[in-house]
Structure 1
Amino acid sequence: MYVVLLAYTAPIEEIDYVLPDHAEWLTRQYERGNFLASGRRDPRIGVVIIARPMARGKLDAILATDPFSVKHMAAYEVIEFSPTRTAPELRSVNEAVAR
């Protein structure tokens, strides 16, 4: 699994202009089963995304298509982790404990 931290590098007014495109991109990723959760950081300095387990290269390719990435409006930090404990609601997406 991955936690992806996006930090805006553009003024918030420019972020707001691209936000509808980013929201459509997020919708496609949920439809494809790539993401489990996402939302704004508080304070509003970026976004947090939780991605399901996949090859790191695949995740990098997905993130490269985010409009914020395409327009160089955010910096991305990807944190890979292997959850050893999971709430019952998430066990089906945690390969480590689903076995």
Structure 2
Amino acid sequence: MFIVSLSYKKANSEVDKFLESHIKFLDKYYSEKKFIFSGRKNPRTGGIILVRNVDKNSLQEIIKEDPFYQNEIADYEITEVIPTKYDENFACYIE
């Protein structure tokens, strides 16, 4: 499981220009059961995506499809997490 932290490197006005295509990118990987959740940071300096069912190399290739990546809107930090304790409602997401 991975946490992907996006940090915007352009103004929110630039982010907004690519938001619709970014959402389509997210939808693709939600439909493939690879993304668990995503959302904006508060304050709005970037976002977070929780990812499962991929290895790190595959995730790096997936990120290259993101319009935010392709248009140099955000930097990406990938952190691998191995859940050892979690709420029972979250168990369905654990590999």
Distance 2:90 2:57 in 1: 23
Q: Show the counterpart of 2:82.
A: 82
Q: Show the counterpart of 1:25.
A: 25
Secondary structure at 1:33's aligned position in 2? Answer: coil
Distance 1:92 1:13 in 2: 37
Q: Show the counterpart of 1:61.
A: 61
More helix by share: 1
Q: Show the counterpart of 2:4.
A: 4
Show structure 1 runs of 4+ deviating over 2 A: none
Q: Which runs of 5+ in 1 are unaligned?
A: none
- How large is the RMSD of aligned CA atoms in angstroms? 0.9
> Aligned partner of 1:14: which letter?
E
TM-score by length of 2: 0.95
Q: Which runs of 5+ in 2 are unaligned?
A: none
> Aligned partner of 2:84: which letter?
T
Q: CA deviation at 1:9?
A: 0.7
Distance 2:12 2:88 in 1: 37
CA contact (8 A) 1:86 1:94 kept: no
CA deviation map 1:60-89 (0-9, x unaligned): 111110000011110000010101012112
> Aligned partner of 1:2: which letter?
F
> Aligned partner of 2:15: which letter?
I
Aligned residues: 95
CA contact (8 A) 1:2 1:53 kept: no
Secondary structure at 2:60's aligned position in 1? Answer: helix
Distance 1:90 1:58 in 2: 23
Distance 2:24 2:53 in 1: 22
